[in-house]
Amino acid sequence: MDARIKDLLKPETLNTISGLELVARVIIEGFMSGSNKSQSVGAGQEFSQYRSYQPGDDLRQLDWKMFGKSERYYIKQADIETNITVKFMIDASHSMAYNEDGMSKLQYAKLITAALAYLARKQSDTFGLYAVNDKNIKVVQPRFETQQFIRFLNELVQLKSEGTWDQKGGVEKLLDHHGKEMIIFITDMYDDAGDLQKFISRLKTPRNEVIVFHLIGRHESEFDFNGSFTFEDLENGTKIKADTIVQQKDYSNRVKAWLQASRTWMLEKHINYNLIYINDPIETVLRNFLTVRKALIR
């Protein structure tokens, strides 16, 4: 892990707006400084030509230098339009409080979200936040405004993992899709009743892109604890005793089968699936993700 980033990953830093913004900036600027081309969460864009302004065009694309020369409004037209709406959705159920090596799944989700939102802001994309559990649904409506990123980070900092995934139908209002969208959903896929999978399935439409970051701990997946322990379900409080040495192989095989089934199911639904271990350096995870996206959009 980058020494500077490691030094920043402390509760007193991550639990403040300025601290979370600093971590996001260090991660993204560090990645972009190592690349010769502009990076984009979505598609790439290259300037092609000007065309006359038409009612309904995005005013951010107006070229004021051309207006100064001709006193007419012109739009910079790109070969590939890049401005999209990026919706960040976070599973804020209590299982996301699971912690390994000093990092919880929710903290890791906040880091991914803050960094990619910082990148979305740099490329002038509209972005918003949705955090869901059965107690609260936090929403920062997608906007492109000066204060949007601070508003976004404020909700991230205050976000807590509690309860279960929403089972009251409140998430239905999040399924309204308009225009070109990218939905980034971050979850641990703890899905006892199958509600999460149903929700993810309904997120995908022919017009949008859905990316799932599936968070898991290495100890959680490998069951490499040494001895007999009592494990507690963070969401329903159920406790079970297990001898990790005796049950490790069976548990590990079941987890591998579950992860493979999750990957296969999402690929069949044309959903971009990313298995992420919360023990891995956040900058490495995001660099790999963005590098792959760059290759896919050439």
The dihedral of CA 239, 186, 284, 29: what is its sign? negative
Q: Which residue has the higher pLDDT, 95 or 170?
A: 95
Say whether pLDDT at 192 is over 50: yes
The percentage of residues in the chain with a pLDDT greater than 70, rounded to a whole number, is 82
What does the buried/exposed string (b/e) look like for 23-39 if buried means 16 or more CB atoms within 10 Å of the residue's CB? bbebbbeebeeeeeeeb
Write the CA distances from 40 to 44, 112, 148, 181, 289, integer angstroms: 6, 15, 19, 14, 11
pLDDT value of position 224: 77
Say whether pLDDT at 44 is over 50: no
Say whether pLDDT at 43 is over 60: no
pLDDT value of position 23: 92
Which residues does 222 contact at the CB level (< 8 Å), separation at least 6? 248, 252, 255
Range name among 34-43, 124-133, 196-205 with the lowest pLDDT average = 34-43
Global pTM reads 0.81
Mean pLDDT of all residues in 126-144: 92
Give CA–CA dist 62/207, Å, rounded. 26
pLDDT value of position 265: 95
User: How would DSSP label each residue in 204-219?
Assistant: --TT-EEEEEEEE-HH
Tokens of 178: 């308009």
pLDDT value of position 211: 96
Say whether pLDDT at 4 is over 90: no
Check residue 71 and report its DSSP letter: S
pLDDT value of position 32: 83
- Compute how many other C-beta atoms are within 10 angstroms of the C-beta atom of residue 236: 10
> Domain locations in the chain?
3-36+82-296, 47-78
Q: Does domain 3-36+82-296 have CATH number 3.40.630.180?
A: no
